[in-house]
Structure 1
Amino acid sequence: MKPRHLLLFCLPVLVFTSCVSRKTLKAEQDKYAKLNTFYMQVQDDLRKCREDEAEASRRKALLETEITGLNKQVDFLKENNNTVLNQLKDLSVISSSQAESIKKSLDNIGAKDSYIQSLQSAIARKDSLNMALVMNLKGALSDINDTDVEIKVEKGVVFISISDKMLFKSGSSEVSDKAMTVLGKVAQVLNSKPEIEFMVEGHTDNVAIKNNCIADNWDLSVKRATSVIRILQNKFNIDPKRMTAGGRGEYIPLKTNDTAEGKAANRRTRIVILPQLDQFFQLLEKPQGTKP
């Protein structure tokens, strides 16, 4: 075969091979980009979890310090009262009824000591349950954009904040179809904890609204909260006795309403996990009785 003919034969082969290599390279580059994006998301989630854990540890340390101080006061009072009582008995300067009264005071101190221990256990248990709930929610919502759904703990209360654009059209209280995914995942976690009660709060920006269906922002925020509750009850079978609907209007903004970004942040729906106050009231009542 002549060199010229050989060159003409090899040229298409080289071009085809080059195209295949470029396609393969492009596919691998796309795969790397996706993996890198996923890696960055995982790193960000890990960082947030560590921040939540650090905050919980800080709060726990403060409570433990306070409880240690109370325990020292109790020990001092018990020791001091025992010493005084023994001295008074030795001197025979008090009556038997007075001695009995002092003894009851010492018993009350012992009851308060027991109460402090119970309260410490209850606080530790509540913190552990809150942390477990937050981790479950973050795991269920890991594929949802962090700017649209925020989960955090403030003063011992768990908050799930969902942006307006995830749930509703502008100026409407009708829940959008795309909201079903995030509400379904939240409902799955809440249904796994049937003892939990919660409030759904609607929040708006400060842009005035009034039409045939909505009177003002108060009205809009309440209607949005009740719309979410109806979805959780009718579509995801959450017991309505566990839920409360509330509207906060424009009056608890997260950011200034002077910018479009601030207004968007203020238009949100919050699910607030309510503390189980009856359990703490029972703890408060125990030291006042005879003995728990």
Structure 2
Amino acid sequence: MKKIILGCLGLTLMLGSCVSSKKFKDAQAQAAEAKDLLNSATVKLNDCLEEKASADSRLKTLTDQNSFLKANNQELINNMGNLTTLTTKGAENLEKSLESLQEKDLTIRKLQDAITRRDSVNLSLVQSLKGVLGNLDDEDIEISVEKGVVFVSISDKLLFSSGSYNVTSKAKTVLGKVAQVVNNKPDFEFMVEGHTDDVPYRKNGVLLDNWDLSVKRATAVVRILQNDYNVDPKRMTAAGRAEFIPVSQTQKSKNRRTRIVVLPKIDQFYSMIEEGMKDPAINN
């Protein structure tokens, strides 16, 4: 009986041992599989973490770029606003400059028109003088126009004796012809200038030097024009220049002269300018 019981116990232990070993192997296999799954999950997790880090980096870069573009866009908008302001001011300044240029151009045209009119009057005056004096020797009388002024230069030998300020009878004929022209040109004023050479004045009397002689000759001519030929004295000026404005360094006789300087009245010249301003051809 004991042997039977011991036999049964042994058989039971063998059967229990066989079952536990199989379960153990199954557990080992499940553990290995779980480990493989864990390793695979760990690899995937690491890949995901790397992708996330890369994505975070790209996001930061894009965010920075977006901020830069926003700031740059705002700067461009500001610059466009400034440019618009500058362009507007530039257009205003350009418009003002063009208006100024137009005004200056108009003024120049008006002045040119006045000068043209003055030159036309001077030409008429010269032609009149040459008409009445043309039969005289060219060396004794010279008529010229310089810078809008008419000059009539009469030699000393035609007007005065040497060292004298008494006008000769022949000279009165010449002065009468000059008076005829200037009386017909009431819009002109003129100055009579006496000129001498550089030889010192040596005669005794009231005259001290060539200054005195040149002035006395000028006043002598002015008195004849006034008293004998009725030239308005308000239009005349007498002046002495002595020897200090010579026209020749070699021929002293050319420096001994009386010069009549004919010029338009200043107010008359301005009247020409005002008339030019009213001219439709200029104002249109």
* TM-score interval for Structure 1 and Structure 2 normalised by the shorter chain: 0.5 to 0.7
**Which residue of 253, 256, 262 corresponds with 1:264?**
253
Aligned residues: CA RMSD: 3.1
Equivalent positions of 1:32-181 (< 5 A) are 92-93=84-85, 103-181=95-173
Query: Is residue 198 of structure 1 aligned with residue 187 of structure 2?
Result: no
Compute the TM-score of the two structures, normalised by the length of structure 2: 0.61
Residue 146 of structure 1, CA deviation: 1.6
Compute the TM-score of the two structures, normalised by the length of structure 1: 0.60
Residues 281 and 122 (structure 1 numbering): CA distance in 2 closer, same or farther, change over 3 Å?
A: closer
Q: Aligned partners of 2:129, 2:156: CA distance in 1, in Å?
A: 19
Residue 97 of structure 1, CA deviation: 8.8
Instruction: Indicate the structure (1 or 2) with the bigger Cα radius of gyration.
Output: 2
One-letter code aligned to 2:262: I
What residue in structure 1 maps to residue 75 of structure 2? none
**Which residue of 240, 248, 252 corresponds with 2:233?**
240
Residue 209 of structure 1, CA deviation: 1.0
* 1:139-163 CA distance string (max 9 Å, x none): 1012222221111112222110111
One-letter code aligned to 2:214: S
Residue aligned with 2:242, SS: coil
Residue 213 of structure 1, CA deviation: 1.8
Residue 272 of structure 1, CA deviation: 0.6
One-letter code aligned to 1:233: Q
Residue 102 of structure 1, CA deviation: 5.6
Residue 277 of structure 1, CA deviation: 3.8
Q: Aligned partners of 1:237, 1:156: CA distance in 2, in Å?
A: 26
- Where does the alignment leave 5 or more consecutive residues of structure 2 unmatched? 1-79, 278-282
Q: Aligned partners of 1:197, 1:275: CA distance in 2, in Å?
A: 6
Aligned residues: 196
* 1:19-72 CA distance string (max 9 Å, x none): xxxxxxxxxxxxxxxxxxxxxxxxxxxxxxxxxxxxxxxxxxxxxxxxxxxxxx
Residues 132 and 177 in structure 2, CA contact (< 8 A), matched pair in contact too:
yes
- Where does the alignment leave 5 or more consecutive residues of structure 1 unmatched? 1-87
